[in-house]
Structure 1
Amino acid sequence: MDIDPRRLRVLLAVARTGGILAAADELRITPSAVSQQLNKLEAETGHALVVRTPKGSSLTPAGLAIAEAGEEIERALSVALGRMQGGATVEGVVKVGAFTSFVRTLVIPRLPEWRSQYPQLKIQIVEDDFPVLMRLLRQQQLDAVVVELDSTTAGQQALGAGMIEQPLLDEPWKLVVPSGTLIATENVNLGRLPLPWLGVEPSAANASVLDRLRRTGGAAETVHQYQETLTALALVAAGEGVAIVPTLALAGVVQDGVDVLDVPGLGTRRIVLRRFDRRRTANLPVDTVARLLRESAAAFDTRGHREIAT
């Protein structure tokens, strides 16, 4: 298989924007050029990569595999670029909005290192819910926002004019159940679990997973409604229900009385950075912060994180 890596950028744009026209706008090329590059990439791989529908475009399983490889290349290039830039002088204040698990695991532990590397760069963190953060971004009170998405439905959200999306991390969703509830994880019927599903705050990506499962008969009505993962774990340990939790949120967490399971069909959580395109301005502090966030996310091992004690 001989693939021109330059075409991966086009496939990634389609995956992130959910359509040919939106991808063309992001890449600043014509829609026909996007289609041509996709056709050539499909010819090179020998597989259909994109399914075109009246509502937009989505990636086939083969397309997802190629896109994931493209994201790995993109991250590696970002790390290499950062090393080449070295200790270049970067000054200014960058305000980044993000959700709890990302801030706690991938940002705060790195702040001392970043402060030492860029003493003139001030990174300010704003932790809040998705709707609030996006409103602040549109009002230009934030420079960038870290967003969580259910990867299966990620392309269905349209970005605002001039806004771009950069991938940070893809991680598996986990099923959390009371200890001993499921003896085996093979052939788990998500629609016939012995306990109800725990409800989650509607703007969270977990809620999108529940909606997706509900449409396919894999989830019933929910009980309770939580916002923080620690609350969900406590409810599960108390035998109140089962929950879908992202891998990152479990890092460093200890909670007795629960089992964390990998179950086929749950999919993955996609974490991206949203910001407004400032390509015409060179060496923006926000560019440096975006790179630092990508490097921190790339260093997180979704397979080797600390599991919850059971």
Structure 2
Amino acid sequence: MDIDARKLAVLLAVHRAGGVLAAADVLHLTPSAVSQQIARLEDVVGVTVLDRQPRGAVLTQAGRVLAEAAERIESELTDARKALAALQGDVTGTVVISAFKTVIRMLLVPLVHRLREQFPGLELLIREMDGEKAQQELRSGAVDLIILEAESPLGHRAARGTRDVPVLEEPWVVIMPAATPLPVSTADLEHLTWLGVDPDAAAHSATEQARRGLKAAPPLHSYYDYDVALSLVSGGLGIAIVPALAVLGVLPDGVKAVSLPGLGTRRLIARHRTTRSEPRKEVLTVLDAIIASAAELDTNV
């Protein structure tokens, strides 16, 4: 039985996209060409691999076996490309990365200048956008890398056809007006006014964890953006939990950041596409540089 890896890749694309039409868009093929590849694969293996339904296509048991094999091949190719990239000194091309404000400020802006010196032929383009938009752009190919908070709804699990790589683990800290007595545990925060957090923000779960068991009053004000949290705290409107990166070098006058036991950490991940041709060498180079730069950060406050 001679199974063509390219046909396996087409099957995997159909599985990830949820149907032949969507897979055709991802693969830049016609739907007819995708269907032909699947039909030829079924001829070779002698079984049906797709259950075609009105709302899309679902893998049969045999299809799942082949799709899992395709994912292993894809993973091996990614590792091989990374190893080859390490052997080859010249890195050229353009890498588009999406991230949010704290990562752009503390990691990516310094990295642009460093990469420009180290790899003159490599161009790093930064895009600030929210997680949903970033995920769409990654899927469409408009963006090569996105940085996400692992605790956010989008960060919980990598989408089909993508891979998550750990970038940084940093502590959550409490920000409060400077005149507030210094707490030694979260119990000391019970009678303070808390700011609310948008449920889609990663700080939401960290805040709920810190407030658990406290008889704190319901919050009046809320935030999604960490700079907004800093502004609200600076105005004396409450206390908030933010990641260490959000306060490094930008803590306003009249606000202090405090580390407390039990607040936990925020985990940042980088997400990239995994296909037969991706991630490209230049994407892996940028990813490695981001991880190295993150390791150099001092996130103690």
TM-score (norm 2): 0.65
Counterpart amino acid of residue 104 in structure 1? R
CA shift, 1:155, in A, is 11
Deviation readout 1:271-309 (Å, 9 max, x if unpaired):
110111247658521111111111111111112xxx5xx
Change (3 A) 1:275 1:217: farther
Amino acid at match of 2:184: E
Quote the offset at 1:170 in angstroms: 0.3
Give 2:60's aligned residue: none
Residue by residue over 1:114-154, the C-alpha shift from the partner in whole angstroms, topping out at 9 and shown as x without a partner, is 1121111111111122222122212222111011134xx89
The 2-side partners of 1:157 and 1:140 are apart by: 21
- C-alpha separation between the residues in 1 aligned to 2:271 and 2:154? 14
Q: What is the match of residue 167 of structure 2?
A: 168
Query: Counterparts of 1:161 and 1:251 in 2: how far apart (Å)?
Result: 35
* Separation (CA, whole Å) in 2 of partners of 1:244 and 1:141: 33
Q: Percent identity among equivalent residues? A: 34
Question: Residue 190 of structure 2 contacts residue 214 of structure 2 at CA under 8 Å; is this kept in 1?
Answer: no
1:236 is matched with 233
Larger radius of gyration: 2
Following superposition of structure 1 onto structure 2, how do residues 111-150 of structure 1 map, counting pairs within 5 Å? 111-150=112-151
Among 238, 259, 263, the alignment partner of 1:262 is 259
Distance 1:227 1:162, change over 3 A: same
Task: Give the CA deviation at 1:259.
Answer: 2.0
Relative to structure 1, is the Cα distance of residues 155 and 105 closer, same or farther in structure 2, using a 3 angstrom cutoff?
closer
1:187 counterpart residue number: 185
* Counterpart secondary structure, 1:189: helix
Q: Match for residue 40 of structure 2?
A: none
Aligned partner of 2:250 among 253, 274, 277 = 253
CA positional deviation for 1:248: 0.8
Distance in structure 1 (CA, Å) of the matches to 2:240 and 2:112: 31
Give CA deviations for 1:56-84 in whole Å, capped at 9, x if unaligned.
Answer: xxxxxxxxxxxxxxxxxxxxxxxxx89x9
Please list every run of at least 4 consecutive aligned residues from structure 1 whose deviation after the TM superposition is greater than 3 angstroms: 84-87, 153-156, 211-221, 278-283
Contact 2:164–2:272 under 8 Å retained in 1: yes
Report how far residue 223 of structure 1 moved: 2.6
Gaps of 5+ in 1: 1-24, 30-80
Q: 2:35 corresponds to which residue? A: none
TM value normalised by structure 1: 0.63
RMSD: 3.1
* Equivalent-residue separation in structure 2 for 1:137 and 1:210 (angstroms): 29
Which of the residues 205, 208, 215 maps onto 1:208? Answer: 205
Distance in 1 separating the partners of 2:150 and 2:91: 31
Tell me how far apart the structure 2 counterparts of residues 191 and 178 of structure 1 sit (CA, whole Å). 12
Superposed, 1:1-310 pairs within 5 Å as: 85=86, 88-150=89-151, 157-183=156-182, 185-189=183-187, 192-195=190-193, 197-213=194-210, 221-278=218-275, 284-303=281-300
- Pair 1:268–1:114, CA change in 2 (3 A): same
Give the paired residue count: 224
* CA distance in 2: counterparts of 1:233 and 1:181, whole angstroms: 15
